[in-house]
Structure 1
């Protein structure tokens, strides 16, 4: 697990290390500079000509120390001090004195510099402390840097990116490498900030673990060590040991979503998968996935089919409803029946979410409410169910504009979790899984997964993990992470242009070894 921090939390970790533990600030600065230089040395040569661009704060102090270490190692390096002498921190002032004593070239005006003379730039202008848009002077510097043809190394954070949410503060440096210190910053994981970081390296500069314990961050991501949380497979077992999934999906002559969700549940380890779909899909489903038990219904005779549906729902360890069922009055009635009968946690996906949004005032479980739409939705569905909306579906449910949700993704996650017993997997380029006070931000996956059917695959993975006994919140987080890992593996075998949903299913075996 990787904790994610915002700028204020990182400053508290820094202050705790210095003031409470007693680590001198200049020691941390020296460690940071050495880590940046170590990273740079893997890619640069003594033929490179390096310009280190520094501001007045401690990020600029890091940059001055980097320049000095590079010089001592025999590299060709100059400094551009873009800050104000009167605004220097104590540490940065000390680093500047050392630089001056070494008679290094120090530029003070952008008009004096020909950026084309340098092959490498180091961005040490601002770091994580940016809270407002860049000044015109800094904008001009960033523009020059972005037009530069060589590599750019950002110190802690590319200038112009908010460490808190990844937003661009007017303009931002497009780095090739970002060396950040101590912990991942939220703005380095969320887009667009993630794109501006280039290759992100998290370096240990000596913050003691107790410093991290001094703050509370509700944001985190997973890494491959977290795959140990997958359900263990018992040697003495049968198909019932690993759970029964019911996938309620598909509509007339639309079988693809049901197939993808069911197969993903099998590939994730579910022992038994039943598909409940319309009679028109019988022959194709039986051909596509013979391993699944098939139960069909006539959508025009749902009153007569109640007992059959009830039996399927009540036999299941977990239920998926929504992929490809459409938003007709028949699918509306089906959703109503299932929600009334179901007991285990449910995965509500796709058209199930759209149905509740469209028929909100006529949905028996939700009408005649006094609460807001979102809160009442949260409080009337089976507790600990998992809702998997992409932003457009969530916008319909919340009766908001998509752009508003997209521009305030962290706030959106907070609103979904507020007083809710449900788990929301808010699907975006960085999916956020939210429940109560926890926010999991997923970092696996790639652009090739932006294709039809991948959401159906995720739904099946969640259901497969639920059926095997993972707690709902853990199942949702782990499923999102595995889904992205499988997408990354599939893209490495093919490419991001050619990826399709079934490639992700086939890659599950590799990432879950």
Structure 2
């Protein structure tokens, strides 16, 4: 598990190292500069002509120190001091004085610099401390950098990207490589910041573990070693040992979603999967997945004792219930969900049409009281503890009656709204999905854009259900499930390609992920 930090937390780590441990800031600056040069030397040659673009803060100081190291190693390098010389930090002023003593070429005005003369750019304008939008001359500098055809290396953070949420602060440098120091930043994981970073390289510049441990963060992501969190499969076991999943899915002519969800649940280790669907889907599903148990219901007879009892029995024998894939949003579908939630005493995975039904139903409730979303509160009151909701941004927009663009622009704040005063787990599905529960935020780094295809969400619900069926806590299952889902998508992209892969390829990728072949 990798800790992720925002700008305030990273500054606190830096301050602890300097003021509590006693590491001089110039030492950290030198280490940072050496790490930048080390990364650069894997991609540059002595024939390259390098321009280091520096601001007036310590990020600029890192750039100035890197310029000196490059010069000493025989590279052709100039500096453009784009920051205000009157506002130099103490350490940056020291680095500048050294370069002046070395008689390095130092440009001070944008009109003096011909970016076309350089093959390599180093962005050391702002780093992680930027709080305002970039405009005027500094925006013009970034515009020039972004028209450059050579490689751009960013120091710690592409200038203009918020370290807190990945937002563009007016404009931003599009880097090919970003060399970041100590810990990954939240804004380097979330989009669009991740895209602006290019290839992210995390380097150790000498922060002691005690400095890192001194700062608590609610943000983190998983690594391959976290697959060890998978439920242990006992040697002495049977299908009941690994849990029973009920999937309430599939309206007429919509059997595919139920199939993908059920298949993914089996591939992730569930002992037994039961699908509750309409009779017209029986033959298709039995042919596709004979391992699944089929319980069929008649939506036209839901008020009869026989149909209610059928639903009650199926719900009662399950360890976790998936609701929604391919279910439709009709009044009959809503009635099915009403009965399921009435009888359910186990966690639910609420996805797709179940979320859309909830959005339509709760549309009659007032939206907000202060910072609390009353619709989400009401939804929480109607669902069992440990339930996981897995909306993509458009589904969440319907549920919260807000523009999807606003939710996308404020993903972390939206996660705060979703988890306020609730014991539900939210999986906010996006290019970088956020799993939120209480005050914790897991940011997912696995997966790729080939997964933006029909059915991959149904695969995710099956994975989550299987992990819960095998005894995992809902929040732990949500985090690990999202990570495994993304890894399986990466396997599918490697075996097929991001254009041609489909949801069933992601299911097939589970074999490699869970079999330890990645």
d(CA) in 2 for partners of 1:399 and 1:377? 14
Asked if residue 464 in structure 1 is aligned to residue 463 in structure 2, the reply is no
Q: Quick one: distance in 1 between partners of 2:35 and 2:293?
A: 56
- Give per-residue Cα distances to partners, 1:232-251, cap 9 Å, x unaligned: 11112111111111111100
Contact 2:6 2:186 in 1 (8 A): yes
Residue 331 of structure 2: aligned partner: 329
Distance 1:404 1:351 in 2: 22
Aligned to 2:369: none
String of CA shifts for 1:275-311, please: whole Å, max 9, x gaps: 1100010110011111111111111111331111111
Residues 1:120 and 2:120 aligned together = yes
Q: 1:371 to 1:476 in 2, by over 3 A?
A: closer
Distance in 2 of aligned mates of 1:298 and 1:321? 17
Q: Deviations over 1:126-172 (max 9, x none)?
A: 10111011131111111111111100000000011111111111111
SS at match of 1:325: coil
Number of aligned pairs? 507
Alignment of 1:114-513 (within 5 A): 114-304=114-304, 305-360=307-362, 372-513=374-515
CA displacement 1:95-115 (0-9 Å, x = unmatched) = 011111111111111211211
Question: Partners in 1 of 2:448 and 2:410 — Cα distance?
Answer: 22
Question: For the residues of structure 2 that align with 1:356 and 1:143, how far apart are their CA atoms?
Answer: 45
> How big is each residue's C-alpha offset from its partner over 1:306-334, in whole Å with a ceiling of 9 and x where there is no partner?
11111111101111111111111111110
Q: Higher mean Cα deviation, 130-139 or 410-419?
A: 130-139
Structure 2: give runs of 5+ residues left out of the alignment: 366-371
Alpha-carbon distance between aligned partners in 2 of 1:361 and 1:503, rounded to the nearest angstrom: 37
TM-score w.r.t. length of structure 1: 0.97
Contact 2:146 2:173 (C-alpha < 8 Å) held by counterparts: yes
Tell me by how many angstroms 1:214 deviates.
Answer: 2.0
**Partners of 2:453 and 2:373 in 1: how far apart?**
36
Residue by residue over 1:184-240, the C-alpha shift from the partner in whole angstroms, topping out at 9 and shown as x without a partner, is 111111111110000001111111122122222111111111111011111121111
**Could you tell me how far apart the structure 2 residues matched to 1:356 and 1:310 are?**
21
Match of 1:367 in 2: none
Superposition pairs of residues 72-111 of structure 1, within 5 angstroms: 72-111=72-111
| 3-state SS in 1 of match to 2:227 | helix
Q: C-alpha offsets along residues 43-86 of structure 1, whole Å, 9 cap, x if unaligned? A: 11111111111110000000000000111111111111111211
* Cα distance in structure 2, aligned partners of 1:109 and 1:85: 11
Determine if contact 1:250/1:256 at 8 Å carries over to the other structure: yes
- Rounded to whole Å, the distance in 1 between the matches of 2:143 and 2:235 is 61
Q: CA RMSD in A?
A: 1.3
Give the CA deviation at 1:360: 2.8
3-state SS in 2 of match to 1:232: coil
Give the Cα–Cα distance (whole angstroms) in 1 for the partners of residues 70 and 96 of structure 2. 15
SS in 1 for 2:78: strand
Unaligned runs of 5+ in 1: 364-369
Determine if contact 2:373/2:418 at 8 Å carries over to the other structure.
no
User: Equivalents in 2 of 1:30, 1:477: separation in Å?
Assistant: 38
Name the stretch that deviates more: 388-397 or 503-512: 388-397
The SS at the match of 2:128 is helix
Tell me, what secondary structure is at the counterpart of 1:163? Answer: coil
**SS state at 2:141 partner:** helix
Question: Retained in 2: the 8 A contact 1:379–1:421?
Answer: no
Structure 1 residue runs of 4+, over 3 Å off?
none
2:135, 2:170 within 8 Å by CA — same for their partners in 1?
no
